[in-house]
Amino acid sequence: MTVSYTLLGLLNEADRHGYDLKQSYDRRFGAARPLRFGQVYRTLAQLERDGLIEVIGVEQGAGPDRKRYTITADGVTDLSRWLAEPEDPQPQLQTVLFTKVALALLSGKPAEEFLERQRDRHLAVMRELTAARRKVGLRDSMLIDYQLFHIEADLRWIDHAAGRLDTLAAELAP
């Protein structure tokens, strides 16, 4: 799901060809795991089918024709809704959080507000888990501790990211 929204966010920044989208994704988000071309074009087909993007031109080149995509009004609305929704804390969430922060910065959305909502969501889940831990045995308590430690790490990252938004925005700029 994150790839779809990442491509929408990149299209919100500028109209692009599939190849350009892959290159931009890999440069900004895919250092550890670049996108496969097949995944890019499958995702673009789904986004087009769902009315979130559309083809605005086809250019001929040395190889296959190159479609240029743009985000639709429905796509902008869907992207804005996704960026505004805090994610439930879970292990390995950092990639999604980073992607949302980066896309918010790229699209001129208030990344600070996203981080604050995310902090609030993490703290709410932390309170729920802490209350639940008081009512369970050691095994379940240890599982809850595992979740709490990950939430604490996410909260540290959220605070760290909030203090570096200006620098990140400058680095992400094309």
Element (DSSP H or E) covering residue 158: helix 138-162
Q: Can you tell me which residue has the tokens 């496969």?
A: 36
| 149 and 167 assigned to the same domain | yes
Long-range interactions of 161-168: CB distance < 8 A, separation 24+: 161/97, 161/98, 161/101, 161/115, 162/112, 162/115, 162/116, 165/101, 165/105, 165/111, 165/112, 168/101, 168/102, 168/105
Could you tell me if 55 and 98 lie in one domain?
no
The domain in which residue 121 lies consists of 86-174
Residues 93, 72 within the same domain: no
Q: How confident is the model at residue 116 (pLDDT cuts 50, 70, 90)?
A: very high
Confidence band of 173 (pLDDT split at 50, 70, 90):
confident
pTM more than 0.95: no
Q: Which of 59, 84, 109 is the last residue of a domain?
A: 84
pLDDT band (50, 70, 90) for residue 60: confident
Question: 25 to each of 34, 56, 123, 144, how far by Cα in Å?
Answer: 8, 21, 31, 35
Instruction: Note the pLDDT tens digit of each residue in 5-36.
Output: 999 999 999 999 999 999 999 888 776 678 89
Residue 63 has a pLDDT of 73
Asked if residue 92 and residue 160 are part of one domain, the reply reads yes
- Token pair 């709410």: residue: 124
Same domain flag for 72 and 153: no
Return the pLDDT at 93. Answer: 57
Tens-place pLDDT, residues 87-96: 887 766 567 8
User: For residue 53, what is the domain's CATH number?
Assistant: 1.10.10.10
Question: Does 162 lie in the same domain as 93?
Answer: yes
Same structural domain for residues 120 and 78?
no
Question: pLDDT per residue over 140-165, tens digit each?
Answer: 888 889 889 989 999 999 999 999 99
Q: Residue 24 CB: number of other CB atoms within 10 A?
A: 21
How many structural domains is the chain composed of?
2
Q: What is the pLDDT of residues 41-56, one digit of tens each?
A: 999 999 999 999 999 9
Where is the domain boundary, 84, 99, 114? 84
pLDDT at 94: 64
Q: For residue 101, which of 110, 91, 92 has the smallest C-alpha distance?
A: 110
Which spans in 89-137 are helix H? 94-106, 111-133
